């Protein structure tokens, strides 16, 4: 063998384990047990002394299981609190380092690349990459009377890298039902179909023809979850077993997650391999590699393409010094057709390439064991390349929504460790143009792509407003859903409207009005969560949920938004007071108990209490703070023009203590209302300000005796009502204009149109006339 540096990384052992619940030998293994079985197989696969190699393991890196891949994932049968060390313990190993990688199907190839670099740098000698899922077993046994407990508590340190979900999900996506990968990928495939100008039937057949060869590979794989050969028409023809999941995917085209599978890859330095007696015919080298990340979904120029994936594969081949035609084997991550199509499109690969595009059978047929699929792909690639000495194999591992891509090129041909230029390429990818987005889209638009979730008959649409901004919207309107399932909806005109609960899309504005009748500002006869009292020109609004400290949930927020819409539209109402029922709390902000129940939480477009996100408050709003004003309650008070606080009142933004942030204005308004260092103290520690302290900083305008906040607020309102309502409104408007001008002198000189408008009003003449005549002015609010 060619002379190699003793630190050159090499793959020396691979192993897989699996079981199906319908197999007579089924044992109901936990993810740790499946992973350990695969790891033992990898040790044996080296052809050397397995116990000696286990003792030499210095690094074990675990692929994160699905049950710990998101903040809301669950482990019905329990789990290990240190997966890598649980596996190592079963091998008799005590590694110095244990790693649990981030979420994503790119993780196995990424870990192999990373640890190869670590070995080359002398930071490790013997490393194991291992992962497993027992999703099928968990589903099968979770309701069993004698269900097993997979809980394990293992000592030792763990380098837990967290979920790594940044950029993969957003409030916009969650609010519009774009949660499951199957819906996300459907958007890409429908966009590609439209780009190619194919009919639904033709594109369905193309997807079937892409995946039919995968089923043949799976049928020959003893670890496959669905080892059945299927034809292209069979894969795409809806039947009772092959039910439509989302448009355009029936069940057979969707990654199969209900599996019990584990896989492991053992790596060493050449020096360690020689020392431990691993035969050289077991050695496989990583010749090329790359790791790249795509832009966020809504900002991508072309939703039918995956440039990061294409760049990653090209660069891995470049580092290896070969071309796509030099590969003997390929395994392209195949959770859904677009994941394969997009890479083929970018590389000029034919979907029916005679070499095949999978070595396992692919995720819908071999199985999609969570984030760990590509560990199986690497294992299969290693086995095949040993049978073809000198040949090259490619593994392309995808994570997120075509979001993260790791590529590796392998061969038995000896090769030194070669660094890649992924960082440089990532800079190039990041610099590509991005599509501007609209959070609250309103008006006519064009459908860019879409999907329909068949179980709920709900549509998700990504479109472009006429100004080019991209948006996401949803619809459960039967008419809209029907249009999306017929003909070619991409490129068609639709109407979108934004609401606090999300964006909705219909075929016409008239249909939108039918589904969501516009509401003219006005007061209801009765409110469920709010009390309203009208006293001449004064409006008093009381949040009436004392049992929950006047916290706010969507129904309460919706009522408050309507009330303040009506207040600002009513010319006979000049001042408003908002307070809370009882003497314990003004408001504790968002109702976290309601949120924890799983019911959807949303706020009106005008914000908490209909105030915190309103573009302007053109008439005075006074907060009468009786008790706690915490979280959203403090944010409501901050949004008001004046704050009258009971002397026992307390103000605070404790969101950081419950894993949240004061995103309804607190992070913006508090640093502008009090000294920045004080604001940072309140925001970062969650400490509370007393009424007196808040007054000293200017957050509170007046402090009232205990129990008198509302009474004093009424006195303040009366003083405001004594002045011209027109002048009051103009003053608020001009203060807001001045606030946008940094220089004080420039702000004073700012030619406000509000002043010109005031000078021709009745009140502008009435005020001086009444003063001269020594009488009380009669204001007309115009």
Give the CATH number for residue 164.
Answer: 3.40.47.10
Among the three residues 430, 463, 481, which one is the final residue of a domain in this structure?
430
Give me Rg for the CA atoms of the chain: 32
User: Quick check: is 260 in a domain?
Assistant: yes
Among the three residues 397, 430, 463, which one is the final residue of a domain in this structure?
430
Percent of the chain's residues with pLDDT above 90: 85
Comparing 36-40, 119-123, 145-149, which segment has the lowest mean pLDDT?
Answer: 145-149
Two structure tokens written together for 596: 């924890």
pLDDT value for 768:
84
Give the CATH number for residue 645.
Answer: 3.90.226.10
One domain, residues 694 and 752: no
**Which listed residue (67, 133, 559, 655) is catalytic?**
655
One domain, residues 47 and 142: yes
Of the pLDDT bands very low, low, confident and very high (cuts 50, 70, 90), residue 3 is: confident
One domain, residues 510 and 600: no
**SS3 label, residue 515:** helix
One domain, residues 294 and 425: yes
- Side by side, which strands form the sheet with 285-293? 285-293, 404-411, 392-399, 327-332
Of 607 and 726, the one with more pLDDT = 607
Q: Is the pLDDT of residue 1 over 60?
A: no
Comparing 106-110, 287-291, 381-385, 772-776, which segment has the lowest mean pLDDT?
Answer: 772-776
Q: Is the pLDDT of residue 618 over 70?
A: yes
User: Quick check: is 149 in a domain?
Assistant: yes
Q: Where are the alpha helices (DSSP H) in 267-336?
A: 270-275, 307-320
- Residue ranges making up the domain that contains 470: 443-515
Burial class (CB in 10 A: 0-12, 13-18, 19+), 426: middle
Two structure tokens written together for 702: 């007046």
Distance from chain centroid for Cα 122: 37
Residue 597's contacts (CB-CB under 8 Å, 6 or more residues apart) are none
Consecutive H or E run containing 160: strand 159-160
Comparing 163-177, 233-247, 364-378, which segment has the lowest mean pLDDT?
Answer: 163-177
Which letter, b or e, does each residue of 552-586 get, where b requires 16 or more Cβ atoms within 10 Å of its Cβ?
Answer: bbbebbbbbbbbbbbbbebeebbbbbbbbbbeebb
One domain, residues 150 and 21: yes
pLDDT value for 652:
96
- Side by side, which strands form the sheet with 628-630? 585-587, 628-630, 650-652, 689-690
Please give the backbone phi and psi of residue 438, each rounded to the nearest 5 degrees, phi first.
-125, 120
Q: What is the pLDDT of residues 715-756, one digit of tens each?
A: 999 999 998 888 888 888 888 888 878 778 887 777 878 777
- In whole numbers, what is the pLDDT of the chain averaged over residues? 94
One domain, residues 98 and 141: yes
Q: What is the pLDDT of residues 545-599, one digit of tens each?
A: 999 999 999 999 999 999 999 999 999 999 999 999 998 999 998 888 888 887 8
Two structure tokens written together for 672: 């502008």
**SS3 label, residue 26:** coil
Pairing of strands 404-411, 285-293: antiparallel
Tell me the C-alpha distance between 451 and 448, whole Å: 11
Q: Is the pLDDT of residue 758 over 80?
A: no
- Compute the average pLDDT of residues 185-197: 97
Tell me the C-alpha distance between 313 and 405, whole Å: 9
User: Quick check: is 598 in a domain?
Assistant: yes
655 is catalytic: yes
**DSSP code of 359?**
S
**DSSP code of 341?**
H
User: Quick check: is 187 in a domain?
Assistant: no
HSE-CB at 743 with a 13 A cutoff on CA atoms is 4
**Which listed residue (67, 257, 380, 635) is catalytic?**
635
Comparing 75-79, 585-589, 590-594, 611-615, which segment has the lowest mean pLDDT?
Answer: 590-594
One domain, residues 120 and 13: yes
Tell me the C-alpha distance between 652 and 225, whole Å: 54
One domain, residues 460 and 415: no
One domain, residues 287 and 401: yes
Distance from chain centroid for Cα 77: 26
- Compute the average pLDDT of residues 595-622: 92
Give the CA diameter of the chain: 110
Among the three residues 402, 430, 458, which one is the final residue of a domain in this structure?
430
User: Quick check: is 781 in a domain?
Assistant: no
One domain, residues 740 and 709: no
One domain, residues 472 and 585: no
Q: What is the pLDDT of residues 290-307, one digit of tens each?
A: 999 999 999 999 999 999
Of the pLDDT bands very low, low, confident and very high (cuts 50, 70, 90), residue 503 is: very high
Q: What's the total number of domains in the chain?
A: 4
Distances 595 to 101, 177, 589, 599 between C-alpha atoms, Å: 30, 17, 12, 6
715 is catalytic: no
Of the pLDDT bands very low, low, confident and very high (cuts 50, 70, 90), residue 700 is: very high
Give the CATH number for residue 482.
Answer: 2.40.50.840
User: Quick check: is 27 in a domain?
Assistant: yes
User: Quick check: is 460 in a domain?
Assistant: yes
User: Quick check: is 768 in a domain?
Assistant: yes
pLDDT value for 2:
54
Tell me the C-alpha distance between 19 and 17, whole Å: 7
- Compute the average pLDDT of residues 55-75: 93
- Compute the average pLDDT of residues 659-685: 94
One domain, residues 710 and 735: no
pLDDT value for 169:
77
Q: What is the pLDDT of residues 195-214, one digit of tens each?
A: 999 999 999 999 999 999 99
Q: Is the pLDDT of residue 622 over 80?
A: yes
């Amino acid at each position: 063998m060619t002379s190699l540096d003793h630190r050159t990384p090499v793959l020396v052992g691979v192993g897989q384990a699996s079981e199906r619940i319908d197999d007579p030998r089924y044992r109901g293994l936990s993810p740790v047990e499946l992973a350990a079985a695969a790891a033992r197989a990898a040790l044996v696969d080296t052809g050397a002394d397995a116990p000696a190699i286990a003792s030499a393991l210095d690094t074990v890196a675990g692929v994160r299981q699905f049950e710990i891949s998101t903040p809301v994932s669950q482990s019905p049968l329990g789990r290990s609190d240190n997966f890598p060390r649980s596996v190592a313990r079963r091998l008799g190993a005590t590694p110095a380092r244990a790693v649990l990688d981030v979420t994503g199907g790119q993780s196995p190839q990424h870990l192999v690349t990373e640890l190869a670099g670590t070995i080359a740098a002398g930071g490790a000698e013997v490393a194991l990459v291992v992962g497993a899922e027992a999703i099928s077993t968990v589903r099968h046994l979770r309701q069993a009377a004698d269900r097993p407990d997979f809980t394990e508590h293992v000592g030792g340190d763990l380098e837990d890298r967290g979920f790594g979900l940044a950029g993969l999900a957003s409030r916009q996506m969650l609010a519009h039902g774009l949660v499951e990968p199957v819906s996300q990928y459907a958007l890409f495939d429908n966009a590609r179909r439209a780009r190619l100008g194919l009919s639904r039937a033709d594109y369905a057949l193309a997807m079937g023809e892409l995946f039919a060869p995968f089923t043949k590979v799976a049928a020959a794989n003893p670890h496959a979850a669905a080892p059945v050969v299927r034809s292209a028409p069979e894969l795409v023809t809806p039947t009772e077993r092959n039910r439509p999941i989302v448009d355009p995917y029936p069940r057979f085209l969707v990654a199969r997650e209900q599996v019990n599978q584990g896989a492991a890859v053992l790596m060493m330095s050449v020096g360690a391999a020689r020392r431990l007696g691993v035969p050289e015919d077991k050695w496989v080298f990583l010749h090329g590699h790359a790791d790249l990340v795509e832009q966020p979904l809504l900002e991508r120029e072309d939703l039918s393409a995956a440039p990061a994936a294409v760049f990653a594969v090209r660069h891995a081949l470049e580092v290896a010094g070969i071309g796509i035609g030099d590969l003997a084997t390929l395994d392209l991550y195949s959770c859904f057709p677009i994941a394969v199509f997009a890479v083929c499109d970018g590389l000029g690969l034919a979907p029916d390439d005679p070499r095949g595009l999978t070595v396992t059978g692919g995720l819908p047929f071999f199985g999609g064991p969570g984030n760990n699929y590509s560990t199986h792909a690497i294992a299969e690639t290693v086995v095949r390349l040993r049978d073809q000495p000198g040949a090259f194999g490619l593994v392309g591992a995808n994570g997120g929504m075509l979001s993260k891509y790791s590529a590796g090129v392998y061969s038995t041909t000896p090769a030194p460790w070669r660094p890649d230029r992924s960082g440089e390429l990532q800079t190039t990818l990041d610099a590509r143009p991005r599509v501007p987005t609209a959070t609250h889209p309103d008006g006519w638009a064009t459908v860019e792509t879409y999907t329909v979730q068949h179980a709920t008959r709900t549509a998700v649409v990504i479109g472009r407003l006429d100004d080019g901004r991209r948006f996401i919207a949803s619809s459960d309107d039967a008419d809209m859903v029907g249009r999306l399932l017929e003909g070619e909806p991409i490129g068609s005109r639709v109407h979108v409207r934004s609401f606090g609960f999300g964006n909705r899309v219909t075929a016409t504005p008239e249909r939108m009005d039918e589904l969501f009748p516009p509401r003219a500002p006005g007061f209801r006869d009765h409110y469920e969560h709010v009390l309203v009292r009208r006293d001449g020109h004064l409006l008093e609004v009381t949040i009436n949920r004392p049992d929950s400290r006047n916290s706010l949930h969507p129904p309460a927020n919706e009522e408050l938004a309507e009330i303040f819409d009506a207040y600002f539209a009513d010319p006979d109402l000049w001042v408003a007071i908002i307070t809370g029922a009882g003497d314990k709390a003004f408001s504790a902000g968002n109702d976290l108990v309601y949120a924890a129940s799983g019911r959807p939480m949303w706020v009106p477009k005008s914000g908490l209490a209909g105030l915190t996100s309103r573009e302007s408050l053109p008439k005075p709003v006074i907060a009468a703070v009786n008790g706690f004003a915490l979280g959203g309650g403090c944010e409501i008070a901050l949004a008001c023009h004046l704050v009258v606080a009971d002397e026992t009142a307390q103000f605070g933004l404790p969101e950081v203590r419950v894993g949240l942030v004061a995103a309804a204005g607190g992070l913006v308004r508090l640093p502008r209302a009090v000294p920045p260092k004080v604001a940072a103290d309140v925001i970062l520690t969650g400490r509370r300000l007393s009424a007196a302290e808040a007054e000293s900083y200017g957050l509170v305008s007046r402090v009232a005796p205990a129990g008198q906040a509302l009474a004093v607020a009424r006195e303040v309102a009366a003083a405001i009502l004594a002045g011209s309502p027109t002048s009051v409104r103009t003053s608020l408007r001009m203060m807001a204009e001045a606030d946008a001008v940094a220089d004080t002198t420039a702000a004073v000189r700012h030619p406000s149109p509000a002043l010109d408008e005031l000078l021709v009003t009745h009140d502008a003449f009435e005020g001086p006339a009444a003063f001269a005549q020594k009488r009380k002015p009669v204001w007309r609010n115009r």
